[in-house]
């Protein structure tokens, strides 16, 4: 047909479109920023709660079972339900999303930190006690440094799954990149918007994971040396 | 008006309204949808993941692939897959794309456990079977598979609970399920729909917890007594637990 316009050759809804990215860079950047900030804050808060909790579970053995059981039950509750419980009380702000994310990240971190602490050889702990180390000194000089691989594993798992989970925040209007995915769905299946949101989300997870791997390499040089 | 002020009171009122049970799109409808979608997704996941995992474990290859699949699906947001697949299938937003999307998230625990289950089989039992002249296929079917049953069951439980939890998100793409109750509640606003939101949350969470408990019992029942592991040692993560949560 002579009057066919060039861009009509391709039905006007491609999966990838620089046009879309260029025209909406502000929205996209804002979404990335919200996503990253929610992830960062959630993981940080989760770590701050999880570390003392793990040490408690490590020191007071009878508490280990209940602590892990309770966080296990919370982990089983679907995120949508968790947001549904929180939202009527905290409203539809970022706080709701944050609380939900923290609760999920908590289990992954606690479980891995406790595993890391339990892997500290008892002889090492006894040697430290024999050298006159007190409980706290032993914790900070012996137990926690030796548990660093476990802590970092928990951190990586928590970070990657939190990035994916932020998208569910769409429910209360703060889903970061999930906002793009959902808007694309509602916007007559705007493929470029859906795909941009999804790809950036995965990319963010991969980047953060690689960063943490790098940190792990730097903090625990002995693990890589042993692997060779 | 004696409408309860707090969301929990409103939720009780909402759940006690018989119409909310039997209406089209009521609780029973949504529960049926939720279970249908989940069952199909888990079945599809088993169909793909178990043969592959058993075979990989039998040959002892592909450990990297199993880890890769687990890590990759951990990073993919459920919402993304739920949105993208229906568009790709271009069959509209019917049941199939939602089932396929959920099945993707069932694969990692099923695959990892099937793989580990066969791989961990006692090497002496394997040697003995070989010595008795069993072929590779017979070895897999008669020795490795029975020994892997506890792992398969554990993977099944993890996958099923995961899918049931994730299926709540199908409501974002109008895929039905109990999540719709929560979404409708949010559509009404916190003030008006607070009760419905909490009620939906209770249903979704309750279903996931019931599934976890029931499948935990099933897992115990299908595990032969000598193979039953004692209570999980505190802080010992199971291999299948490295799955994302929806």
What residues does each domain of chain B span? 7-227
Query: Hey, what CATH class is A15-221 in?
Result: mainly alpha
Look at residue A1 in the predicted model and tell me its pLDDT: 42
* Mean pLDDT rounded to a whole number for chain B: 81
Question: Which residues in chain A show pLDDT less than 50?
Answer: 1-9, 228
Q: To which H or E segment does residue B13 belong?
A: helix B7-16
In chain A, where are the structural domains located?
15-221
How large is the average pLDDT for residues B99-107? 90
CB contact B110 to A (< 8 Å): no
- B213 closest CA partner among B177, B161, B168, B138: B161
Residue of B4, B72, B77, B209 to mutate when probing chain A, most A C-beta within 10 A: B77
The residue in chain B having the minimum alpha-carbon distance to the alpha carbon of residue A163 is B75
Q: Do B165 and A76 touch (CB under 8 A)?
A: yes
Question: A81 CA to chain B: closest CA distance, Å?
Answer: 4
Contacts of A164 in chain B (CB under 8 A): 74-78, 244
Q: Rank A55-59, B82-86, B93-97 by mean pLDDT and report only the highest.
A: A55-59
Q: Do A81 and B201 touch (CB under 8 A)?
A: yes
- pLDDT exceeds cutoff 90 at B238: no
For A94-108, A133-147, B86-100, B203-217, which range has the lowest pLDDT when averaged over its residues? B86-100
Give domain B7-227's CATH number out of 1.25.50.10, 3.40.50.970, 1.20.1070.10, 1.10.3720.10: 1.10.3720.10
Look at residue B1 in the predicted model and tell me its pLDDT: 42
pTM of the complete model:
0.83
Place of tokens 């929610």: A38
Question: A132 CA to chain B: closest CA distance, Å?
Answer: 28
CB atoms within 10 A of CB A116: 23
Question: A154 CA to chain B: closest CA distance, Å?
Answer: 10
Tell me the pLDDT tens digit for each residue of A60-83: 889 888 888 888 888 888 888 888
Tell me the pLDDT tens digit for each residue of B27-68: 788 888 889 999 999 999 999 999 999 999 888 888 888 888
Any residues with CB less than 8 A from the CB of A65 and at least 6 apart, and which? B234
- pLDDT exceeds cutoff 90 at B156: yes
Look at residue A224 in the predicted model and tell me its pLDDT: 66
- Tell me if B207 sits within 8 A of B31, measured CB to CB: yes
Residue B213 banded pLDDT, cuts 50, 70, 90:
very high
Look at residue B229 in the predicted model and tell me its pLDDT: 61
Question: A84 CA to chain B: closest CA distance, Å?
Answer: 5
Q: To which H or E segment does residue B185 belong?
A: helix B179-222
- pLDDT exceeds cutoff 80 at B138: yes
Q: What is the DSSP string of B64-116?
A: HHHHHHHHHHHHS-HHHHHHHHHHHH-S-S-HHHHHHHHHHHHHHHHHHHHHH
- B148 closest CA partner among B39, B240, B223, B208: B223
Which of B201, B237, B245 lies at the smallest CB-CB distance from A165? B245
Counting residues of chain B whose pLDDT is more than 90, the rounded percentage is 21
Residue B242 banded pLDDT, cuts 50, 70, 90:
very low
Q: Do B80 and A202 touch (CB under 8 A)?
A: yes
Helix (H, G, I), strand (E, B) or coil at A204: helix
How large is the average pLDDT for residues B202-211? 90
Residue B92 banded pLDDT, cuts 50, 70, 90:
low
Q: Return d(Cα A214, Cα A208) in angstroms, integer.
A: 10
Look at residue B3 in the predicted model and tell me its pLDDT: 53
Written as six digits, the tokens of B207 are 């279903």
- Tell me if A171 sits within 8 A of B182, measured CB to CB: yes
């Amino acid at each position: 047909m002579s009057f066919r316009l060039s861009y009509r050759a391709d039905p006007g809804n491609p999966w990838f479109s620089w046009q879309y990215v260029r025209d909406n860079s502000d929205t996209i950047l804002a979404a990335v920023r919200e996503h990253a900030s929610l992830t960062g804050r959630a993981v940080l808060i989760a770590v701050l709660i999880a570390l003392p909790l793990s040490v408690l579970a490590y020191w007071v053995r009878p508490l280990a079972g209940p602590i892990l059981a309770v966080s296990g039950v919370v982990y089983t509750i679907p995120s949508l339900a968790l947001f549904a419980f929180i939202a009527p009380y905290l409203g539809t702000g970022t706080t709701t999303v944050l609380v939900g994310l923290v609760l999920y990240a908590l289990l992954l971190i606690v479980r891995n930190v406790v595993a890391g602490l339990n892997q500290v050889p008892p002889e090492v702990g006894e040697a430290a006690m024999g050298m006159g180390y007190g409980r706290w000194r032993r914790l900070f000089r012996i137990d926690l440094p030796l548990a660093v691989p476990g802590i970092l594993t928990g951190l990586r798992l928590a970070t990657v799954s939190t990035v994916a989970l932020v998208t569910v925040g769409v429910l209360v209007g703060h889903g970061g990149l999930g906002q793009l995915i959902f808007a694309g769905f509602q916007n007559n299946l705007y493929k470029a918007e859906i795909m941009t949101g999804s790809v950036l989300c995965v990319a963010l997870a991969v980047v953060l994971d690689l960063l943490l791997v790098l940190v792990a390499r730097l903090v625990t040089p002995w693990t890589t040396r042993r692997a060779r | 008006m004696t409408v309860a002020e707090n969301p929990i009171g409103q939720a009780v009122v909402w759940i006690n309204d018989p119409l909310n049970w039997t209406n089209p799109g009521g609780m029973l409808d949504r529960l049926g949808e939720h279970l249908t979608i989940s069952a199909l997704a888990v079945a599809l996941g088993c169909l793909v993941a178990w043969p592959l995992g058993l075979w990989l474990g039998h040959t002892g290859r592909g450990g990297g692939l199993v880890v890769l699949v687990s890590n990759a699906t951990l990073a993919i947001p459920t919402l993304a897959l739920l949105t993208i697949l229906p568009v790709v299938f271009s069959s509209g937003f019917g049941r199939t794309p939602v089932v396929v999307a959920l099945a993707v998230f069932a694969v990692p625990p099923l695959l990892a456990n099937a793989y580990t289950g066969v791989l961990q089989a006692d090497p002496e039992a394997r040697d003995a079977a070989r010595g008795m002249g069993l072929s590779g296929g017979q070895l897999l079917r008669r020795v490795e598979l029975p020994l892997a049953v506890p792992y398969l069951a554990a993977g099944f439980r993890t996958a099923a609970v995961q899918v049931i939890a994730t299926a709540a998100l199908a409501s974002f793409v109008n895929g039905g399920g109990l999540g719709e109750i929560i979404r409708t509640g949010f559509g009404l606003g916190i003030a008006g729909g607070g009760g419905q939101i909490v009620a939906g949350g209770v249903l979704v969470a309750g279903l996931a917890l019931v599934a976890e408990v029931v499948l935990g019992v099933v897992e115990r029942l299908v595990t032969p007594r000598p193979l039953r592991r004692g209570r999980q040692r505190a802080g010992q993560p199971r291999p299948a637990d490295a799955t994302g949560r929806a």
